[in-house]
Amino acid sequence: MSSSGHNLKKWFRGAESAETKSTGPGKSAPRTSRRCIGLGELLRNLKSAGEQKLSVLDLGPTSPANISFLTGLGARVFNEDVLREAQDPGYLVKQEDGSMQIDPSKFFAANLDYPPDQFDAILCWDVPDYLPEVLVRPLVERLQVMLKAKGNLLAFFHTKDAGPESLYSRHHIVPPDVLELEPIQGFRLQRIFNNRHIENLFKDFASRKFFLGRDNIREVLMVR
């Protein structure tokens, strides 16, 4: 009895240590997973497009899982961590009022410099919610140009209920339609887009599909 109790304790200790392993100091924050209908639909669209060599742009922080998954599909994967780049003080210019602000032309000269009709899909994740205001519209315009006709763009937007402390996350694809979210510190939610804002922002796209998740994230799948 005592030995079985000991084993049981050992078992639970083992489970505990396994759990805390990923949350220890210096480690990345624990991941949560969520089902992502928009992603599932995007992947279905990509498969049905029947392209021989897909090109997919990931705008989030480098995710080994995404690169692995997408290259496994035979896609050429492009990765640009736009938000991290936007933190670079090199893009700041002094305004007339003395404040410092990102110069969009300078920023886009160094980032997202691709020819038109390059990508079959763009994974925008929740980047627009955290991006400095001056970059949001130019970013969307540029993405629209870079997408092929009938190309897909997946973006997430926090709703009011998500709260201002919503953490920016790195999104790892777990096929077929699950995302693991790995919170990344150091970025603050800049704004909340409502449906009308989103429609205005992506007005040049042919279609927009909205999916509201239980976690107060609005998934939007845009098709050019």
The distance in angstroms from the start CA to the end CA of the chain is: 66
Task: Please report which residue ranges of 73-132 form alpha helices under DSSP H.
Answer: 82-86, 104-110, 127-130
Show the tokens assigned to 14.
Answer: 């083992």
Q: Kindly indicate which of the ranges 75-83, 147-155, 156-164, 208-216 contains the residues binding other proteins, using the contact rule CB under 8 A.
A: 75-83
Q: Kindly indicate which of the ranges 6-14, 61-69, 132-140, 192-200 contains the residues binding other proteins, using the contact rule CB under 8 A.
A: 61-69
- 122: contact with other proteins by CB under 8 A: no
- 119: contact with other proteins by CB under 8 A: no
CB 61 to other proteins: min, Å = 8
Distance (Å, rounded) from C-alpha 60 to C-alpha 192?
19
Nearer to other proteins, 131 or 220 (CB): 131
Site for other proteins in 142-181 (CB under 8 A): 172-176, 180
CB 55 to other proteins: min, Å = 8
Nearer to other proteins, 114 or 212 (CB): 114
Place of tokens 């109790």: 5
- 74: contact with other proteins by CB under 8 A: yes
Q: Are strands 32-35 and 55-58 parallel, antiparallel or unpaired?
A: unpaired
# binding residues, other proteins (CB under 8 A): 28
CB 154 to other proteins: min, Å = 18
Nearer to other proteins, 114 or 211 (CB): 114
- 54: contact with other proteins by CB under 8 A: no
In this structure, how many other beta carbons lie within 10 angstroms of the beta carbon of residue 57? 24
Show the tokens assigned to 63.
Answer: 């995710």
Contact (CB, 8 A) for 211 and 221: yes
In eight-state DSSP terms, residue 216 is S
Contact (CB, 8 A) for 77 and 56: yes
Q: What share of the chain is helix, strand, coil (3-state, %, to 5)?
A: 40, 30, 35
In a 3-state reduction of DSSP, which class is residue 219? Answer: strand
Site for other proteins in 19-38 (CB under 8 A): 22, 28, 31
Nearer to other proteins, 77 or 201 (CB): 77
Binding site for other proteins (CB under 8 A): 22, 28, 31, 61-65, 67-69, 71-72, 74, 76-81, 84-85, 172-176, 180
